[in-house]
Each structure stands twice: as structure tokens, then as C-alpha cells.
Structure 1
Amino acid sequence: MRDPRLLAEPPVCRLGCLVLVRNLRGDVLLVDPDYMDGMILPGGSARPNEPPHLAAARHLHAETGLHIRLAGIAAVDFTPADRYLERLNLVFDGGTVCDDTRLTVPPRHRSGLLGARFVPVRDLPNRTSPAQLARITEALACRATLPALVHGQRAA
């Protein structure tokens, strides 16, 4: 039974669904949005009632053309409200792809992206914000992923 009190005032918090993808050299896939300084992990907000792993896969495909099944979470990052609402970012482990993997970035007028590319780890400090760098560094250091669950079952 639904308790209307639980749905009366839902919390104001965005759910960011990001993906960490590496190539065989260990470089990290980043996208370059035209509305921010610096590059970021591919991903975006989940739609209402959208499972996070599917939101992350949807954004990854829309931004880069990659189809990757996501099942594990490498990091969870809470960002307090600043110029945006507070948000909880789930960084999904997108695994490793071949060095010659072709990326398909939609036109800037549709996507808001200037491009996407694999960036060597040593160059991340010059390409990302300090917060993005810390998020990526922690996700890279993760030795094991947390399973993504939907109603207690592993996400498929």
C-alpha cells in the first residue's frame, strides 16, 4: 500500500549516472560539454523512475555511440548544492574497450558537446576540474565494484 505522506514532498536531489570507461592503455573516456570548463565523465541525470544503470547506459550511448552493459558501481559521490541542486552521482564501471574503439559524438547543436576522447591519466589534472579529477581518481582506485540492484535484484 502506498503511503501518500511519502510521496507528498519528494526530496530535491538529482541522480547523476556517470560511466568510467578506459581503453587498453588505461586512458579515461571524457566528454567535453560546451556549457562547462573542463571535460567530464560521460553521463547525466536519470529520468523519474528510470533505473540508474539504464540512465547511465542511455547517456553513454547518446554522447559517444558506445553500447555497454553496466552492472557495477565504482564510486558514489554526493555533491552538495552549489550552482546546481544537490546531487548523488553514481559512477558505473564501463570496463575496458579496444584502443581503436570509434566514438560517435552527435552534433554540438543537439548534444551540447564539443567532443569526446580518451585522455591519459597523467593529463587528467589539465583537462578536468578538481572535483571531477577526485571523482575519477577514486573510481580508478576501486578494486571491486558494488553491484547495481533494482528492487534487490542485480541489474540486467
Structure 2
Amino acid sequence: MRDPRLLAKPPVCRLGCLVLVRNRRGDVLLVDPDYMDGMILPGGAAKPNEPPHLAAARHLHAETGLHLRLSGIVAVDFTPADRYLERLNLVFDGGTVRDETRLSVPPQHRSGLLGARFVPVNDLPGCTAPAQFARITEALAGCALPVLLHGQRAA
């Protein structure tokens, strides 16, 4: 049964679905958007009613060409409204890929990305904004929580 009081005015909050991917050296995959200062984890907003792990995988593939199965969340980060809506960012564990993994970044005019690359952990503070660096640091230290859909592990 749907309660009309719950649907009358849904909360406005964007769900960010990000992915932490590392290579065997431990470097972190970042993308370089042309609309922000600094590099960020690959990912983006979920569409309405889209499972967040699928949204993260969709964005990862669109931005880097990587197809990865995402099964765990390594960080949850709430960002209050500033120039954007408030948002809840879920950081999914993309695991470790081979060092020779090739990335495929779409042209800037289609993707808004200047590029993507693996960045050594020690270089992260100089490549990212402070909040992004803190998010990545916490994700690196976190242990994965399972992704559930209606109480069942997501496939």
C-alpha cells in the first residue's frame, strides 16, 4: 500500500554513485572533469529508481570503458547543499585491475572529461580537492559493506 503522505513531497537529494578502482601497484583511478578543479573518482548520479551499484557501473563504463561488477560499498559521504543539491555519495569497491589495463575516455565534447588515469596514493593530495581526498582516504581504509536490493545481495 502506498501512503500518499510519503509521496506528496519526496525529499530532494541526489544520489552519487562513485567507484574506487585500484591497479596492482595500489594507484587509484581518477577522472579529470573539465567543469571542476581537481580530479575525482569515476561515477555520477543515479537515475530515478536506478539501483546505485548499476548506476556506478554505468558511469564507470561510460567514463573509462571498464566493465566491473560492484558488490560492496567502502564509504558513504553526505554533502550538504552548496552550489549543487545536497547529495549522498556511495563509494563502491571496484577492486583491483591489472596494471596494463587500458582506459577508454570519450571525447571531451561528449563526456566533459579531460582524461582518466591511475594516480599514486602519495600524489592524491595534489590532484584532488580536500573533500575528495578525504573521501578517497576513507574509502581506501574501509571494509566493504554488501549492496542489498530489497534485503537480498545484489547480483
SS at match of 2:104: coil
Deviations 1:68-120 (A, max 9, x none): 00010000000011111110000000000000000000000000000000000
Tell me the equivalent position of 1:40: 40
Matched AA of 2:152: Q
Cα drift, residue 5 of structure 1: 1.2
2:52 corresponds to 1:52: yes
Rounded Cα–Cα distance in structure 1 between residues aligned with 2:139 and 2:106: 27
Q: Name the SS of the counterpart of 1:133 in structure 2.
A: helix
- The number of residue pairs the alignment matches comes to 155
**Where does structure 2 lack aligned partners over 5 or more consecutive residues?**
none
* Counterpart-to-counterpart distance in 2, 1:113 and 1:17: 17
Query: What SS class does the counterpart of residue 109 from structure 2 fall into?
Result: helix
SS of equivalent to 1:140: helix
CA distance, structure 2, for counterparts of residue 52 and residue 4 of structure 1: 25
- For residues 22-67 of structure 1, the C-alpha deviation after alignment (integer angstroms, 9 at most, x for no partner) is 0000000000000000000000000000000000000000000000
Does 2:154 match 1:155?
yes
Structure 2: distance between partners of 1:19 and 1:9: 30
Aligned to 1:134: 134
Indicate yes or no: 2:144 matched with 1:145.
Answer: yes
Describe the SS at the equivalent of 1:75. strand
Q: Report the Cα offset of residue 6 of structure 1.
A: 0.8
Q: How far 1:14 moved relative to its partner? A: 0.3
Query: Where do residues 25-104 of structure 1 align in structure 2 (5 Å cutoff)?
Result: 25-104=25-104
Please, which runs of 5 or more residues in structure 1 have no aligned partner?
none
State the TM-score, normalized to the length of structure 1. Answer: 0.98
Match of 1:117 in 2: 117
What residue in structure 2 maps to residue 24 of structure 1?
A: 24
Identity %: 86
Give 1:134 deviation, angstroms. Answer: 0.0
